[in-house]
A and B are shown apart, each in its own frame.
Chain A
Amino acid sequence: MQAIYLDHAATTPIHPDVLKVVVETMEEHFGNPSSVHSYGRKARQILDKARMTAAKSIGASDKDIIFTSGGTEADNLALIGVAEANKNKGNHIITTKIEHHATLHAAEKLEKEGYHVTYLDVQENGTIDIEQLKASLTDDTILVSVMMVNNETGVIQPIEAIGQLLEQHQAYFHTDAVQAYGLLPINVKELKVDLLTVSSHKINGPKGVGFLYVHPDVKMTAQQYGGEQERKRRPGTENVAGIAGFAKAIEIAAEKQQERMQQYKHYRTLFLEQLEKSAIDFSINGTESERVANIVNISFPGANVEQLLTNFDLSGIAASSGSACTAGSVEPSHVLTAMFSENNPCTTNSIRFSFGLANNEENVVTAAEKVGQIVQRLTK
């Protein structure tokens, strides 16, 4: 029995057309894009085309796209690279308590090196308070990093408002758009963001690829040392096949954005309707906020995460929650802790279900039935 996959916010199945492009590129165009011969030029051509596709998808110029090994590297590069290059302007960075660890742990590293970091709270609805951000800005602030969509709750942050607020401030604005990209329309000029992170494997592309958009005025130091690739901002021979596949995934995502949004919303509705039919108690975290359609984070009072997830998996449902500690056990989610405070049961009884290509009406309903049965058994 194939388990029903409800964890598309963790990663997504590769789209068959993307797979085709990856394999073809690997088979036919193995050249090194830096080489001064026909093999190299062909690879470079693929790279250039992919860069155009990526840039176009967010209203940027192709020169502003740096391909990376994924979202983590892009977030690290944005935070650490900008902090290092702008030390002369100040040493204050603002981010939030609900960022991905790729951002949070980079911020912690910077704190150890003497930077001052403010971690904004979130309200119970999961969004930051723009007034708190305003109050936290100082003349020393050089970077503000706020994610566009939270990966655990799907809650959408007020990126445009932040962009506007920062327009007259020296601080650069970075947003981790990993979970938003492909589902929300993104235009870096309209949103007034200076840096933006995207990951390939969250949009049905291959793993190990991502990009960082960097506005041409942003000063940023490279975090790797080597060749001249990516205009020295990210040395290392490019993952040509991965990038080609990523570009294909971007094209499909752009083309299908509306359709997917509608479809995932439909799945979410079906899922919740079926859960309503079971005699169980549940509530949706971040329900008052605008959220992306493919993620729903549900609290099941009286249950606990480890018991739920293990039971789900043994019954053929793949979902997730918060983040696992290195010893495998599930830690209370830092996102839900920021929303509800430390000892709120929601932090240890909530599960994230996320929809995507691996779903259809039938398996979504079947999964909800099973979830209902398991929760009922565990909480009675």
Chain B
Amino acid sequence: MKKPEETRVVVGMSGGVDSSVTALLLKEQGYDVVGIFMKNWDDTDETGFCTATEDFEDVVRVCNQLDIPYYAVNFEKQYWDKVFTYFLDEYKAGRTPNPDVMCNKEIKFKAFLEHALSLGADYVATGHYAQIRRNGDRVEMLRGVDDNKDQTYFLNQLSEEVLEKVMFPLGHLPKSEVRKIAKEHDLATATKKDSTGICFIGERNFKEFLSEYLPAQPGKMTTLAGEVKGEHDGLMYYTIGQRQGLGIGGSGGPWFVVGKDLERNVLYVGEEYENDALYSDGLTAVDINWINEAPTEPFHCTAKFRYRQTDDGVTVYPNPDGTAKVVFDNSERAITPGQAVVFYQDEVCLGGGTIDEVIKNDQALDYVG
């Protein structure tokens, strides 16, 4: 391996505290660090205000503190074509997409990685909470040590080939420590609020945002038995297991979304958190990426079906076409098509795919869409 000072690491900087500390740590380790801001979305409003401007300003301030060069790169077109189009298509199909997974796959660890390599980078680094274990030729991705921040769920589509060129300098740190380092070094972003939600929506109202791009078709809200409970504003606004915003009054409840019928434009609701219709015992996953070697035989491991959930035991029945059937050790609540299912063997992230069908008693549940 080259000496740090001869190793160029291009850091994807968002203007947040995590990527700021990433650059700081690498600089302290003596690497040839270059900071790059990705502009993926244009949210310029009528007054000319654009959040990317503020974020880039923060990148500039931090890079000047660290005395490293900084640049920006525009991936708006790639982001629109690869991430946003997918995002809208999934909503149109009645599913709940995960744009962060797609952004990591197509933008941060593809377009950005290629850009960095064209600048002579040996590695790209980001402020993700995940770890990389290099053992000879083998490169594995491990969970971040901060359980609450682990981001391997969103990184499940990365390949070993990509990970070879990646560094996650924050993976071994708890978030509190990252903040502390930022404060100790008086970084310009030390007290900046963490961004929340989907990056291109930001603080805006999700429903309003989506309605700008997809026509909403209001329809009926019924129980699985067909009893009408009210009206919905458009199926895309609801996700399986959701409780808020249904507006069902009267006795009984609370009410939850248990499914969707896209053809008839009906939203299915059911009473009680533990409603049986929300439970399933397996799923089929598509577009599976195995980070290291692809399994050919069924095996037992753990899995996450959404971010920040503890793992549960599953048996994976892989198919050669990149799909798999996943059978749960215990039944699971509110498995949501479009979201990612991510597999782990202890601390090692094996990869993941997109939840396509939800299975109960060996049958795909047609009401979850």
A328 in complex: contacting residue of B34, B37, B118, B120, CB < 8 Å: B37
In the complex, the answer to whether B69 meets A327 with C-beta atoms within 8 Å is no
Interface residues in A301-339 (C-beta closer than 8 Å to B)? 306-307, 309-311, 313-314, 324-330
Interface residues in A359-380 (C-beta closer than 8 Å to B)? 378
A328 to B56 alpha-carbon distance, docked (Å): 7
For B56, the chain A residues whose CB sits under 8 A away are: 326-328
Query: Is the CB of B258 closer than 8 A to any CB of chain A?
Result: no
For A311, the chain B residues whose CB sits under 8 A away are: 118-120
Query: Is the CB of B199 closer than 8 A to any CB of chain A?
Result: no
A313 to B52 alpha-carbon distance, docked (Å): 23
For A324, the chain B residues whose CB sits under 8 A away are: 72
Count of chain B residues with a beta carbon within 8 Å of a chain A beta carbon: 21
Query: Is the CB of B172 closer than 8 A to any CB of chain A?
Result: no
For residue A311, which residue of chain B has the nearest CB?
B119
DSSP majority for the B interface? Answer: mixed
Given A314-B120, A326-B56, CB of A306 within 8 Å of CB of B50: no
Interface residues in B55-71 (C-beta closer than 8 Å to A)? 55-56, 59-60, 69-71
In the complex, the answer to whether B55 meets A329 with C-beta atoms within 8 Å is no
In the complex, the answer to whether B72 meets A306 with C-beta atoms within 8 Å is yes
Interface centre among B36, B37, B119 (most CB of A within 10 A): B119
Given A314-B120, A327-B39, CB of A306 within 8 Å of CB of B74: yes
Query: Is the CB of B243 closer than 8 A to any CB of chain A?
Result: no
In the complex, the answer to whether B118 meets A378 with C-beta atoms within 8 Å is yes
Given A313-B69, A314-B34, CB of A329 within 8 Å of CB of B120: no
Q: Give the shortest distance, in Å, between B12 (CB) and chain A (any CB).
A: 13
Given A314-B34, A314-B69, CB of A327 within 8 Å of CB of B119: no
B39 in complex: contacting residue of A309, A313, A328, CB < 8 Å: A328
For residue B75, which residue of chain A has the nearest CB?
A329
Query: Is the CB of B73 closer than 8 A to any CB of chain A?
Result: yes
B72 in complex: contacting residue of A314, A327, A378, CB < 8 Å: A327
For residue A328, which residue of chain B has the nearest CB?
B72
Interface residues in A130-175 (C-beta closer than 8 Å to B)? none
In the complex, the answer to whether A328 meets B119 with C-beta atoms within 8 Å is no
Interface residues in B93-118 (C-beta closer than 8 Å to A)? 115, 118
Query: Is the CB of B53 closer than 8 A to any CB of chain A?
Result: yes
- A326-B52, A328-B59 are known contacts; what are 16 more A-B pairs with Cβ within 8 Å? A306-B74, A307-B115, A307-B118, A310-B119, A311-B119, A313-B69, A314-B119, A314-B120, A327-B39, A327-B50, A327-B52, A327-B53, A327-B72, A329-B73, A329-B74, A378-B118
Q: Residues of B with Cβ closer than 8 Å to A? A: 34, 36-37, 39, 50, 52-53, 55-56, 59-60, 69-74, 115, 118-120
Q: Residues of A with Cβ closer than 8 Å to B? A: 306-307, 309-311, 313-314, 324-330, 378
Pairs of residues from A and B, 5 with the lowest C-beta to C-beta distance, nearest first: A328-B72, A327-B52, A329-B74, A326-B53, A329-B72
